Amino acid sequence: MPMAAMNSASLQSNQSNSNVISQLATSVSLRCVECAALYPGVGDRPRYRCDCGGVLDVEAAFHHPMQQEPSLQAGFEALMASESDVKALAGAQWRQLFDERAPLPPLWPVNVDTRLPDSSGVWRYRELILPVPEQYIVSRPEGNTSLYPVGRANCGNHRAGHRQIGHYAGLDRFFLKHEGENPTGSFKDRGMTVGVTMANLLGARAVACASTGNTSASLASYAAQLGLPCIVFLPAAHVAGGKLAQSLAYGAITIQIEGDFDDAMRLVEQVCNELGIFLLNSLNPFRIEGQKAIGFEVLQQLDWQAPDWLVLPAGNLGNTSAIGKAFRQAYQLGLIAHLPRVAAIQATGANPFYRAFVSGFSHRERVQAQTIATAIKIGDPVSYTRARQVIEESNGVVEEVTDEEILAAKTVIDRSGIGCEPASAATLAGARKLVERGIIKRDERVVGILTGNLLKDSQTGIPQPKQGNAIAASIEAVKRAIANEISL
Ligand code: F0G
């Protein structure tokens, strides 16, 4: 669609979805994280910020399917109530609901998509994500990613390679959740299935995002599935090859801008507001709701025994906010008995959140970002306030790691056979540092998040094949080639 055709009336509701939309407007609300102002969940135009400029957070009442349908009055009360006011159902009932759905194989039904939501590692938790009728859901499906036991003590037999990770971190009971196993190779698919479902429901004419590469790959894929025009803004020359290839291959209008991610982020917000395009960065609060599913799935995989720590890389801080919010809600609903502590890890050259943390969050910092981990090369994170709340309420920490530490940790993860992209390795580098500093105890149960697939970036921190190094196709040449590698 030519850009000129996208006017400010970006949403086109019709008879069939207008009822759903008006229900959503009352059952879901948006609260400003800065001034606590409240807005309806959906309006005539999408709203990404409060009038004060603060970002918005979704608030919704949770209804277990065994409960009665919420009346209109209850919906209205939900609009006025904060999460903690919402009457929680016993945690056991919620656990049973999600556990019954979990064993379903991720199969596509032959003619209808009815079981698809149960197979998705996001929509399985739909009552805690977004109350939307199933026919609007756009899913591949996503989630159901592995939780690898990699600690010195919890790593099973025939996993000597994986155990090296536990040795490196100095942890006995350590798990790595590999979000690079999502359909487009990163955790972004969890937020994107919800974001693009909202775009579908609201009748958006086009979608857009700024990205360091993974958000754009994910959006391009989900938009293509729906048949929706998609524009992605990337900082030129700062996006790993695999990610750029994905967005081009999925057919997104791929615009590389002069500047960094923070410039691209400012631009896309302006573009979306002026041209009426649906914004799908994590500034869109529904993306955060989808990413909460990482937290729920970790808890379910651990049989609802909350870990002591959750460690993850931090850039724009959407994921820190989302997983922390999931833990908060799981705790409030009685799904788990205690809140895990959250450790957000930044690269030293892109560490505004770390700087704020060491100052006791006395002021917000912005930096000119510089790191080899391009995914987290972000100097002015959008979700600062949301993430700060997570660190404070979970008694969490923010740590920084150098590029050298990231690369060393990446080599350990790659050599274990699991593999990840550079930003993800900040998790292991950070966990190791926090153990060395005595902040994480060696016998605590720790979950680390690997956010992206190894193939996203096939250059950074990976030995490159030497040109002209081919050998003759003979047994003698093979013997010479491996002589220094293995003794046979
Ligand atoms: N790890 C990877 C692989 C990422 O792609 C990102 C963010 C992060 C960690 C940090 O997560 O921003 O929620 O704190 N990538 C975004 C993108 C910015 O555009 O793909 P965050």
Q: Which residue has the higher pLDDT, 93 or 411?
A: 411
Query: What's the pTM value of the predicted model, to 2 decimals?
Result: 0.92
Query: Cα–Cα distance between 239 and 375 in angstroms, integer?
Result: 8
What's the rounded mean pLDDT across residues 141-154? 96
Give the model confidence (pLDDT) of 186-239 as tens digits: 999 999 999 999 999 999 999 999 999 999 999 999 999 999 999 999 999 899
Question: Where is 197: in which H helix or E strand?
Answer: helix 188-202
At 19, is the pLDDT very low, low, confident or very high (cuts 50, 70, 90)? confident
Ligand 1 neighbourhood includes 321 CB (under 6 angstroms) = no
Residue ID of nearest Cα to ligand 1 atom 9: 313
Cβ distance 354 to 346 under 8 Å?
A: yes
In 259-307, where do the E strands start and end?
278-279
Q: Which residues contact 463 (CB under 8 A, 6 or more apart)?
A: none
Ligand 1 neighbourhood includes 144 CB (under 6 angstroms) = no
Ligand 1 neighbourhood includes 281 CB (under 6 angstroms) = no
DSSP code at position 401? E
- Provide the 3-class DSSP secondary structure of residue 171: coil
Cβ distance 32 to 50 under 8 Å?
A: yes
Residue 477 exposure: Cα atoms within 13 Å on the Cβ side: 6
Atom of ligand 1 nearest to the CA of 421: 3
At 14, is the pLDDT very low, low, confident or very high (cuts 50, 70, 90)? low
Q: How far is the CA of 374 from the centre of ligand 1 (A)?
A: 9
Ligand 1 neighbourhood includes 141 CB (under 6 angstroms) = no
Give the model confidence (pLDDT) of 382-419 as tens digits: 999 999 999 999 999 999 999 999 999 999 999 999 99
State the pairing for strand pair 28-32/56-60. Answer: antiparallel
Give the model confidence (pLDDT) of 172-196 as tens digits: 999 999 999 999 999 999 999 999 9
Ligand 1 site-directed mutation target among 145, 181, 190, 214, most atoms within 8 Å of CB: 214
380: pLDDT strictly greater than 60: yes
pLDDT of residue 271: 97
- Tell the residue number behind the tokens 């605590």, with chain if given: 444
Ligand 1 neighbourhood includes 212 CB (under 6 angstroms) = yes
pLDDT of residue 142: 95
State the pairing for strand pair 230-235/207-210. Answer: parallel
- What the block records as the tokens of 412 is 């350990």
Q: Which residues contact 471 (CB under 8 A, 6 or more apart)?
A: 477, 478, 480, 481
